[in-house]
Amino acid sequence: MSALALCAPRVLTPSGLETDLCVLVEGGAIAAVMPAADCPPDMPRRDLDGSLLPGFIDLQVNGGGGVLFNDEPSVDGIAAIARAHRRFGTTGLLPTLISDELAVVRRAIAAVGEAIERGVPGVLGIHIEGPFLNAARKGIHDARKFRTLDTAAIGLLSSLRRGRTLVTIAPELAPPGAVRALVERGVVVAAGHTEASYEDVQRSFAEGLSGFTHLYNAMTQLGSRAPGVVGAALESRESWCGLIVDGHHVHPAALRVALAAKGADRLALVTDAMPSVGSDRKIFRLGGQRIVAEEGRCTAADGTLAGSDLDMAQAVRNAVRLLGIDLAAAARMASKAPASAMRMAGERGAICPGLRADLVLIDANGDVLETWIGGESEAVPH
């Protein structure tokens, strides 16, 4: 891959949004960041118009482009989902499998491994959300698929040989030592769809639990004498939390409380996206239920939220508006925070030398103009 200088009026570096910088890309990585005036004259150069940000990383993507991962746990299905989300600035994602039979989990893991081996752009690993959840907080999940996290399941969940694995469990239902066994095998473990007490979470922290899937949703709430999962999450300085900032899943005041408690670096924007994102297909089926995406919400017939119709570019815009933060902080919640959560901060999630050249260019309205994955460019048609 030939070297290229990308010069933009605004570039988000670890120091903040800086003006008139040049990002040198070589071999799929960021070789240097310097003032545009110092750009090597013998290097091919592109002058961009807009803000150059680290590419967005989405840890919870159920579907996109008309495809639901549970229905199409294949390389082609994964590629279609990744392609649909790339146009909204997502340069790295975890295809997310919601609760299903273990045979489907096995196929999904194999498909993600093959997709990474083939170099499908943007695939970082897999998120397995269930079936080790609590029926009392099932949300849209099919509780008939739920099962115990036993030794065989631990082996399956830790079987991906390429990329990262994120697993969401109800920690109160996990046998002692199960979280530790997963973490020792390289799996990132998060709590979600859980009736856990504050004390349950503390025990899981001791075993290596490090995150919370869609904070506030489908978990025990903060009470004065029972802090619950939310209280444990907000108190912890080390753990990370995913947030669905679509204006439907979480009230803006609760979002701002999380920001005040955790700081932007520990909050990762996630979409929880369904097949409707990047598609005209606004009605689909999920586990036998008819789901309708309308006015930014995905709901079943009884009104239960079923994932979202949210893309990452909109999540960033919403974060600016609803949390009262600037673009730099919102963009870090979509890049640095998820990279850190998945222990990939040394590989991606920021614009600095040595990291992968996964980038997104946005205009003044926050709309995506162009993305780069490993230095390979793709413009967004408008």
222: region left, alpha or beta (phi > 0 left; psi from -120 to 50 alpha): beta
| pLDDT (average), residues 188-212 | 98
* 1 — pLDDT class (breaks 50, 70, 90): low
pLDDT at 10 over 70: yes
Q: Cα–Cα distances in Å, from 247 out to 176, 270, 293, 312?
A: 37, 13, 14, 13
Mean pLDDT of the 127-152 span: 96
pLDDT above 90 (res 296): no
Residue written as token pair 């390289």? 186
CA distance 335 to 57: 5
Whether 246 and 318 have beta carbons less than 8 Å apart is answered as yes
> Tens of pLDDT along 222-272?
999 999 999 999 999 999 999 999 999 999 999 999 999 999 999 999 999
Tokens of 319: 């974060």
| CB contact at 8 A, 295 and 248 | no
Task: Report helix, strand or coil for 260.
Answer: helix
The pLDDT tens digits for 161-178 are 999 999 999 999 999 999
- pLDDT of 2 above 80: no
- Closest residue by Cα to residue 8 from 39, 31, 43, 29: 39
Whether 382 shows a pLDDT value over 80: the answer reads: no
DSSP 327-341: HHHHHHHTTHHHHHH
The pLDDT score that the predictor gives to residue 351 is 98
**Considering all CA atoms of the chain, what is the largest pairwise distance in Å, rounded to the nearest integer?**
66
What is the pLDDT, as a whole number, of residue 257?
A: 98
User: Residue 184: helix, strand or coil by DSSP?
Assistant: helix
Helical packing angle, 198-207 and 228-235, nearest 10°: 50
Question: Percent of the chain scored above 70 by pLDDT?
Answer: 100
Percent of the chain with pLDDT over 90: 96
Closest CA to 52 of 3, 92, 85, 89: 89
State the amino acid at position 150 in one-letter form: D
Average pLDDT of the segment spanning 55-70 = 98
In the chain, CATH 2.30.40.10 sits at 4-53+351-379
> Is the pLDDT score of 273 beyond 80?
yes
Residues forming the active site: 272
Please state whether the peptide bond connecting residue 131 to the residue before it is cis, i.e. omega within 30 degrees of 0.
Answer: yes
Helices (H) and strands (E) in the chain, counts: 10, 22
Distance CA 300, CA 311 (A): 20
The whole-number pLDDT of residue 250 equals 97
* 111 membership: H or E segment, kind and range: helix 102-118
For domain 4-53+351-379, the CATH superfamily is: Urease, subunit C, domain 1 (2.30.40.10)
What per-residue string of b and e applies to 326-339 under the rule 16 or more CB within 10 Å gives b?
Answer: ebbbbbbbbbbbbb
CATH second-level architecture of 56-341?
Answer: Alpha-Beta Barrel (3.20)
Residue 374 has pLDDT above 90, yes or no: yes
Over the stretch 329-365, which tens digit does the pLDDT of each residue have? 999 999 999 999 999 999 999 999 999 999 999 999 9
- In the chain, which segments carry CATH 3.20.20.140? 56-341
Cβ–Cβ under 8 Å, residues 355 and 74: no
How is the beta sheet containing 297-299 ordered, strand by strand?
Answer: 283-286, 289-294, 297-299, 305-308
Q: Which residues pair with 241 in a beta bridge?
A: 212, 267
